[in-house]
Structure 1
């Protein structure tokens, strides 16, 4: 795994969990808006919207850099629109990054060929 791919996956990983948390907080704010006088939906909606846009931009960068198949790219996008999907995306991206680092080290040491 080259440096560009590793950084793209890391950026996507770094934004996936906060995006998921903001989605859950937006759902909570929506429930509170309907059951109480508390209305933080405009603020949380804006925060979640910005994080979602950043996630999509980083997702596109990771898709291009990692040369994912359409199925893999679609999975990461679907995870971004599920309330807790960002946590699963974070876990999957961490595993993918670790596997890439292990493979790169093995190639460097001559254990496997490129």
Structure 2
């Protein structure tokens, strides 16, 4: 479960950066819509997966609601999921 959560966190963070750092400028500055749509769908699916896995992971680790809220807020911030992985998830035993 830890490996799945870490992988999802990293992929969600990468998709977030691709969406807002690469495809949004293409959409609004160059009128190229397709990359934004594709990366947007992928990011949406990864975001939902991240939150769902975070709920299950917090429940299995017996972490409180405060830790879940921190994981959720991290998914809304650029580089937030990378921070969660580095600060909290790498230190856990598999």
TM-score normalised by the shorter chain: which range applies? Answer: 0.7 to 0.9
1:42 paired residue number? 37
Runs of 4+ with deviation above 6 angstroms: none
Deviation string for 1:15-57 (max 9, x for gaps)?
Answer: 1011000011111211121111322111011000111111011
CA distance, structure 2, for counterparts of residue 37 and residue 24 of structure 1:
19
Aligned length: 91
Aligned counterpart, 1:94? 90
Give the TM-score taking structure 1 as reference length.
Answer: 0.73
- Other-structure match for 1:26: 19
CA distance in 2, matches of 1:73, 1:51: 17
Unaligned 5+ runs, structure 2: none
Name the residue aligned to 2:6: 13
RMSD between superposed Cα atoms in Å: 1.3
TM-score calculated relative to the size of structure 2: 0.88
Which has the higher Rg, Structure 1 or Structure 2? 1
Cα distance between partner residues in 1 of 2:68 and 2:3: 15
Return the offset for 1:59.
0.4
